[in-house]
Amino acid sequence: MDALANADGNKQETDFDDVADLLSPEDVVEVSAPNLPVTSYRMKPSLRELFPASQIKNIIQVIIYDKLQGKVYNAEEARKWTREISDEVSLAVKERIQMPRFKHVVQVTLGQQLGAGCRYIAKCCWDAEADSHASDVFTNSSIFCVCTVFGVYLY
């Protein structure tokens, strides 16, 4: 058991293992036992640091709608569109959303709408508690597009 000082300066007895999941480094004001090593790693993200799937899904929707609305499938253009969508989504996620300790991967699948079904599958090895993904689908009369952003927490 160790003592921590809260924001009011009052000392509280606490067990560091139980508190590590609840407090972030900025929440801890002072450690009264200077001989204890301070860990610089976390085993999982705090509640404030979880992967923001809904915000990323909104980014994906806006970008693929703007890029593909009114377009007709063309094999030569499809290659360019997938690269542009992937780059724009990656850049927008990087600029607009602060995700400390997350790496993200953007995967775009674009094809011609011919009336046949299509199944999109992604298989990953990850930590279900910390890692996540966001995905959105765009379709019109001649194009289908699936864009997925995977977020992997760095330990």
Reduce the secondary structure of 86-116 to three states and give it as a string. Answer: HHHHHHHHHHHCCCCCEEEEEEEEEEECCCC
- Measured at the CA of 83, the angle between CA 93 and CA 138, to 5 degrees, comes to 75
Residues of the chain with pLDDT under 50: 1-2, 4, 14-19, 27-32
pLDDT in tens, 93-130: 999 998 888 999 999 999 998 878 888 888 888 888 88
Task: Give residue 21's pLDDT.
Answer: 52
Question: Which among 102, 116, 122, 106 is positioned nearest to 144, based on CA atoms?
Answer: 116
Residue 58: the pLDDT is 97
pLDDT at 11: 52
